[in-house]
Amino acid sequence: MEVQKTALYNYHKNLGAKFVPFAGYEMPIQYKDGIVKEHISTRTHAGFFDVSHMGQFFLEGDESLIESLEKIIPADLKNLKINHSKYSFLLNNEGGIIDDLIITRTEKGFCIILNAACKENDIKQISQFLKKNHKHLLNNDLSLIALQGPKSVEILEKLIPGVANLKFMTGSNFEYEGENLYVTRSGYTGEDGFEISISNTKVEKLIDYLISNEVKPIGLGARDTLRLEAGLCLYGHDLNEKINPVEANLKWAIAKKRKEVGGFNGWEKIKNLLANGSEKIRVGIKPDGKVIARENTKIFSSDNNEIGFVTSGTFGPSVNAPVAMGYVKSEFSKIGTSIQLEVRGKKYGGKISELPFYKKSYVK
Amino acid sequence: MSEKKFSKKHEWVSLDGDVATVGITKHATEMLGDIVFVEVPDAGKAVEKEGQAAVVESTKAASDVYSPISGEITEGNKAIADDPGSVNTDPEGASWFFKLKIKDKGEYDSLMSKDEYDKFCKENPS
């Protein structure tokens, strides 16, 4: 398969981006400043992320569309208001997570933001449940820009008046340069911010504006450290098809009504897990010293029994310490439990920690 | 202190009598990015030429640091283990990795000069 590029590829190049192949795309891993500076400037000012590789999947249909989607998505879509968004998943028959996603109710149906690496399979999986009168489109003519950080609102409000009124996990249509643009107050960094769906032909102009307001370009490297500090999962690492939402410690993302009534893929299994708990569960982990416990690091109990593994681990620039997430046997998941992390054949102490590592500041 | 010599794995060595000081080059730190973890060897440890001697981790990944020369470690630089970021600021000065008592000065002589190393980096961009 040919490597794909987002509409901003040349723009990134001119900004000094270092590219890496990611989910079939050439994406910036970092720019000239490097990961730590990019991370800090997002937390203290604002940064923009080109997330146009993610799928923007639009669905249109009558009431039966809700019924179809609720078979594979455990959110309460029936009661989801127009312009409101929810974090949810696509589930397989075993209750495993096919992908995690953000679904927004639109005037005509729904928009689902899908992970780049999963989007083709996701659409196949969703399509199984769609009826003939349901229309769907993966819109590749749109870019997606995340603007994140405490100054985001002030900066974007000057350009697009009205965005400051949006509450976290809601969106609206705005006009920019004579074109429609959809903005949601959301993101994946633990900061206040926005995600802007904008046509490929106008996106450079938007970025020009952001850069003139000292918004820094942020690559995938800092995106990873930011989301990990915020305790957020990365699909393909912290989540996959063999992990269900209960194990992933994401049962809060299954709507209350859906927990009671079910009717979605894997419901039998999830019902049982909700009642009895799971054998393993996702936890936050803080190594005691400076050692970084990266993905696949084995986790041991204080009496040397293997109890789990790390799924994401890095140095958290805002926490100023290493941070990690992983799965442990549920009996070891209590906050403060002492564990050992095997790094390069040597065991280092650590503790089960609260998530997020970095306190969020969403506007509710 | 002798002139610095360089290895293809981006370490530098300087020699004072039979004690060598080893660190990673500025070029190496630029490739690694922000350094967030360093593990240095303890005194007494024997290392072989091109054998693994220390660890350096950036936000991106972990890398081994090799000894460009054989010998017995006399000191690891604890200061960089406490402040890994200092390797980014002064890689070829205060932020050396370890010192070792060498066995064979011939190994030092066979390493690259500064000019040769600069040329090597230019020809092998990564």
Provide the residue count of chain A.
364
Test B55 with A322 for CB contact under 8 angstroms: no
CATH 2.40.30.110 location in chain A:
279-364
Question: What pTM did the predictor assign?
Answer: 0.92
Flag if A315 and B60 touch (Cβ within 8 Å).
no
Residues 6+ apart with CB under 8 A from A38: A30, A31, A47, A216, A217, A218, A219, A221, A222
Residues (pLDDT < 70) of chain A are 1, 360-364
C-alpha–C-alpha distance, residues A213 and A311, integer Å: 36
Chain B residue with CA closest to A20: the answer is B60
Whole-number pLDDT of residue A360: 66
Residues of chain A with CATH 3.30.1360.120: 9-53+140-229
3-state secondary structure chain A: CCCECCCCHHHHHHCCCEEEEECCEEEEEECCCCHHHHHHHHHHCCEEEECCCCEEEEEECCHHHHHHHHCCCCCCCCCCCCCEEEEEEEECCCCCEEEEEEEEECCCEEEEEECCCCHHHHHHHHHCCCCCCCEEEECCCEEEEEEECCCHHHHHHHHCCCHHHCCCCEEEEEEECCEEEEEECCCCCCCCEEEEEEECCCHHHHHHHHHHCCCEECCHHHHHHHHHHCCCCCECCCECCCCCCCCCCCHHHCCHHHHHHCCCCCHHHHHHHHHHCCCEEEEEEEECCCCCCCCCCEEEECCCCEEEEEEEEEEECCCCEEEEEEEEEHHHCCCCCEEEEEECCEEEEEEEECCCCCCCCCCC
Tell me what pLDDT residue B2 has. 74
- Predicted confidence at residue A35, as pLDDT, reads 94
Cα A22 from chain centroid (whole Å) = 15
Q: What is the pLDDT of residues A221-268, one digit of tens each?
A: 999 999 999 999 999 999 999 999 999 999 999 999 999 999 999 999
Nearest to A291 among B34, B37, B58 (CB): B37
Beta-carbon contacts below 8 Å between A and B: 41
| DSSP bridge pairs for B39 | B55
Instruction: Pick the residue of A315, A320, A348 with the most B CBs within 10 A to test the interface with B by mutation.
Output: A315
Residues of B in contact with A37 (CB under 8 A): 34
Instruction: At A116, list the tokens.
Output: 């780049």
Instruction: Kindly indicate whether the ipTM for this predicted assembly is greater than 0.90, answering yes or no.
Output: no
Residue A168: per-residue pLDDT: 96
Minimum-distance CB partner of A221 among B57, B60, B84: B60
Residue numbers in chain B where pLDDT is lower than 70: 1, 126
Give contacts of B34 with chain A, Cβ < 8 Å.
34-37, 315, 317
Residue numbers in A near B62 (CB within 8 A) = 292, 294, 344
Kindly state the tokens that stand for A308. Answer: 């789990």
The architecture CATH gives domain A9-53+140-229: 2-Layer Sandwich (3.30)
Residue % of chain A over a pLDDT of 70: 98
CA distances from B75 to A222, B42, B115 (A): 34, 6, 29
The domains located in chain B, with CATH, are 5-103 (2.40.50.100)
Mean of the per-residue pLDDT values of chain A: 96
pLDDT of amino acid A4: 96
pLDDT in tens, A114-162: 999 999 999 999 999 999 999 999 999 999 999 999 999 999 999 999 9
- A314 and B62 within 8 Å at the Cβ level: the answer is no
CA angle (A356 as vertex; A271, A322 as ends), nearest 5: 125
User: Rounded to a whole number, what is the distance in Å from the CA of A159 to chain B's nearest CA?
Assistant: 34
The minimum CA-CA distance between B122 and chain A, rounded to whole Å, is 18
Considering the domain A279-364 in this protein, what is its CATH number?
2.40.30.110
A29 touches chain B (CB under 8 A): yes
Chain B residues close to A225, C-beta within 8 Å: 59
Helices (H), A160-280: 203-212, 220-229, 256-261, 267-276
Instruction: Determine which of A29, A36, A38 to mutate to test the interface with B (most B C-beta atoms within 10 Å).
Output: A36
Interface residues of B toward A, Cβ cutoff 8 Å, are 33-34, 36-37, 39, 55, 57-60, 62, 81, 84
Contact A291 B33 (CB under 8 A): no
* Nearest-neighbour CA in chain A from B4: distance (Å): 28
